[in-house]
Amino acid sequence: AQVAGTGAGEVTSSSVTLFGVVDLAVAYGHGSENNLSRLVSGANTVSRLGFRGVEDLGGGLGAGFWLESGLNVDDGTGSGSNTNNQPSGATSSGALTFGRRATASLMGTWGEIRLGRDYVATFRNRDQTDPFTTNGVGASLPYAISIIGVTETRASNMIGYFLPAAALGGFFGEAQYYMGENTSGSDGNGWQARLGYANKVWGVAGAYGLTKYAQTATTGDNKAWNIGGHWNFGWANLMAGWFEDEVERTSTLKGTGYILGAVIPIRVDQLKISYSSYKTDDVGDPRTQKLAVGYVYNLSKRTAAYGTYAHVQNHGSAAVGLNGSLTGPGKNSDGFDLGLKHSF
């Protein structure tokens, strides 16, 4: 959880790496309407299975691939993908896919061209300013209840370019263009960009994204811009983000949010705290605030036990219930995750 670029320009090996995470937690949610107990997957880190590799082509050039499947380890199912950046493109329920990432890359001293399905630029600030990296009961509200639709996290059919991470003295950036691939209309087409700077102590980045949809009473172009930063004091890594989302319906819907967070190292463990808020100008002026506290007890570099507690306060027509619980408009909710994470 620090504001940084992504791995452009790495050319180190020609082998295939098999990697993954299994993360399961007992999750409890308490709302004004009901309570719910579940076993959930990925409350600390998203459960996954992946295959990736890079090849050194000589002359500073490299090629790489990345195939990563999101898993629901609580029931063995896959977490799906989307073929056209539109609601109609959702994959079948429960099926394994490589929907977390499916890319081919060409890398050089000039940066990286990355083709396929990947994170959108505006997601990175949502993720990197959140001590809980958008996962579990503690997930940042500007991520968890954003009004942005299908392309909030990822987009398919994407042509992306990353600036060379090593060459620019701390500056990093990326630009993306993606396609809905309709025979008529531009639904699901979009572009995003992000630019930032980071050194060993602090970093900051801003991002903007647009995904096009035909305007109706309930949907329209999705626009997001956000800015995030962190300052690592050693005793704590503080982070903050500001988020503005917009859905250009016949009557435009706006969402605004922010997060303040800290990751505090305690020996080999981590204490995580965050306060986040999100509101929209929809009917009833919904506004929600969340406080989350978590502790990650590292049993090894690959394995951790963890616990997270979160509490939300709803205002106006907001009715956010944590961990699947139902809560009424303006009512509160709280919940916790108690889990085990194992990487391989």
Structure tokens belonging to residue 194: 């992000």
Q: Which of 3, 8, 22, 296 binds its own copies (CB under 8 A)?
A: 22
Sign of CA dihedral 209, 211, 216, 219: negative
Burial annotation 141-180 (CB, 10 A radius, 16+ → b, else e): bbbbbbbbebbbbbbbbbebbbbbbeeeeeebbbebebbb
Q: What are phi and psi of 181, to 5 degrees?
A: 60, 40
Q: By CB under 8 A, how many residues form the interface with its own copies?
A: 79
**113 or 193: CB nearest its own copies:** 113
CB of 293 to its own copies, least distance (A): 23
Binding mask 142-181 for its own copies (x = CB under 8 A): --------------xxxx------------------xx-x
**218 or 300: CB nearest its own copies:** 300
**6 or 91: CB nearest its own copies:** 91
Contacts (Cβ under 8 Å, ≥6 apart) of 28: 35, 36, 37, 38, 323, 335, 336
Q: What are phi and psi of 83, to 5 degrees?
A: -85, -20
Q: Which of 23, 112, 187, 337 binds its own copies (CB under 8 A)?
A: 23
Closest to 239 measured CA to CA, from 251, 250, 231: 231
CB of 240 to its own copies, least distance (A): 32
Q: Which of 2, 65, 195, 313 binds its own copies (CB under 8 A)?
A: 65
Closest to 312 measured CA to CA, from 326, 287, 286, 332: 332
CB of 209 to its own copies, least distance (A): 18
DSSP of 144-186: HT-S--GGGTEEEEEEEEE--TTTTTTEEEEEEEE----SSS-
Structure tokens belonging to residue 318: 């907001």
Q: Please report whether residue 214 would count as binding its own copies according to CB under 8 A.
A: no
Name residues contacting its own copies, limited to 283-312 (CB under 8 A). Answer: 299-300, 302-303, 305
Q: Which of 249, 254, 311, 342 binds its own copies (CB under 8 A)?
A: 342
Closest to 1 measured CA to CA, from 139, 111, 118: 139
Q: Which of 266, 285, 328, 344 binds its own copies (CB under 8 A)?
A: 344
CB of 66 to its own copies, least distance (A): 8
Name residues contacting its own copies, limited to 69-128 (CB under 8 A). Answer: 69, 71-78, 80-84, 89-104, 106, 113, 115-117
Name residues contacting its own copies, limited to 25-64 (CB under 8 A). Answer: 26, 34, 36-39, 49, 51, 53, 55, 57-58, 61, 63-64
